[in-house]
């Protein structure tokens, strides 16, 4: 019995058995090396090695091209919006600031009471005759009661008595606001009559500032040229007479805030509609490409994790059996 075991052991340790075991191990090592090498190849090397088309690379290139096209389109659309806002602000300054010149935006001011009233009446007249003056499609904002009125508000100290000749004063820092509203259709009928009925007297001794508020609407139709639907804009315009310094120089400024929104109703011709459908298909393609790319990348990560696990197991096996 012992003789059989010894003969069997000699048979297992024979040169032929060892050679087979080494050949099997060498083949396993070569297969693992080949898998690792192929996993870290770039798409061109994989194509040369197995003639497999680099679908992931092609998908990434198409996705980059589509996203770049969308970014350019978005940039042009945003540029049109910014340009439309800036040009409207410049238009409002020329419409509602009397004698305005582009270069004197920082030095535009009035110095006498007559000039203050004259500029306020000028704003009222321009607002009343807006439809006959503007070359754009500006219109009055409307609500349930009709057109939104032009509002003239003066901020004044609640109580004040200033006597420079006696070097005495009394001031209450609390500020009160007094406003009057002027409806454009009323002022359009007879602007001079509105001036006479305007019960609005400025108290220059207590005056802190005058703010004239008006609201207008416009549609940015130039977007049609870039195959986009026009957007509607609500402009809130404020003309400010700043008298906080009480230095005899009342600075004037005009600011404009806007709210962009989708128009309630609109219709475009067939070519524009086709372009809009093209943008929609482009968005769908990008969504599909990103989702497919996510699946392929996830598969690559899973394959990498599996290959790492196999490599560790193989290394441990060769180490323990070596």
Residue 93 has pLDDT above 70, yes or no: yes
Alpha carbons 42 and 51: distance in angstroms, whole number: 13
Find the helix or strand (DSSP H, E) in which 308 lies.
Answer: helix 270-321
Check residues 33 and 139 and name the one with the higher pLDDT: 139
Check residues 48 and 9 and name the one with the higher pLDDT: 48
Residue showing tokens 């298909």: 281
Counting Cβ atoms within 10 Å, is residue 65 exposed (0-12), middle (13-18) or buried (19+)? exposed
Q: What is the pLDDT of residues 94-133, one digit of tens each?
A: 999 998 887 777 788 999 999 999 999 899 889 988 888 8
- Which pTM value belongs to this model? 0.66
144-150 own/partner pairs: CB under 8 Å, 24+ apart: 146/183, 146/185, 147/183, 147/184, 147/185, 148/214, 148/215, 149/181, 149/182, 149/183, 149/184, 150/123, 150/124, 150/181, 150/182, 150/183, 150/184, 150/187, 150/212, 150/213, 150/214
Please report which confidence band the pLDDT of residue 8 belongs to, taking 50, 70 and 90 as the band edges.
Answer: very low
Show me where the domains of the chain are located.
23-49+58-72+269-322, 90-267
Q: What is the pLDDT of residues 197-256, one digit of tens each?
A: 566 788 888 899 999 999 999 988 887 776 677 889 999 999 999 999 888 899 999 999
């Amino acid at each position: 019995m012992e003789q059989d075991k010894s003969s069997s052991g000699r048979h297992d340790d024979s040169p032929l058995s060892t050679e087979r075991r080494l050949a099997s191990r060498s083949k396993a090592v070569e297969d693992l090396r080949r898998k690792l090498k192929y996993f870290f190849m770039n798409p061109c090397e994989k194509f040369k090695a197995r003639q497999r088309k680099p679908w992931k690379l092609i998908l990434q290139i198409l996705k980059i091209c589509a996203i770049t096209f969308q970014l350019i389109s978005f940039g042009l659309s945003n540029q049109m919006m910014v340009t439309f806002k800036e040009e409207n602000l410049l238009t409002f300054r020329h419409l509602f600031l009397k004698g305005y010149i582009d270069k004197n935006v920082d030095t535009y001011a009035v110095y006498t009471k007559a000039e203050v009233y004259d500029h306020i009446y000028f704003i009222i007249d321009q607002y009343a005759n807006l439809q006959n003056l503007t070359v754009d499609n500006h219109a009055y904002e409307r609500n349930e009661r009709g057109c939104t009125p032009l509002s003239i508000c003066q901020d004044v100290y609640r109580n004040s008595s200033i006597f420079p000749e006696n070097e005495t004063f009394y001031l209450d820092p609390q500020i009160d606001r007094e406003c009057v509203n002027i409806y454009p259709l009323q002022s359009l009928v007879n602007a001079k009559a509105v001036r006479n009925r305007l019960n609005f007297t400025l108290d220059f001794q207590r005056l802190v500032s005058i703010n004239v508020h008006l609201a207008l609407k416009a549609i940015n139709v130039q977007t049609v040229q870039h195959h986009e639907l026009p957007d509607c804009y609500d402009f809130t315009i404020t003309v400010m007479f700043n008298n906080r310094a009480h230095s005899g120089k009342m600075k004037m400024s005009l600011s404009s805030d806007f709210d962009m929104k989708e128009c309630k109703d609109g219709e475009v011709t067939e070519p524009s509609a086709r372009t809009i459908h093209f943008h929609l298909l482009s968005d769908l393609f990008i969504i599909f490409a990103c989702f497919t790319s996510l699946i392929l990348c996830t598969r690559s990560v899973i394959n990498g994790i599996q290959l790492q696990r196999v490599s560790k197991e193989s290394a441990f096996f060769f180490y323990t059996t070596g």
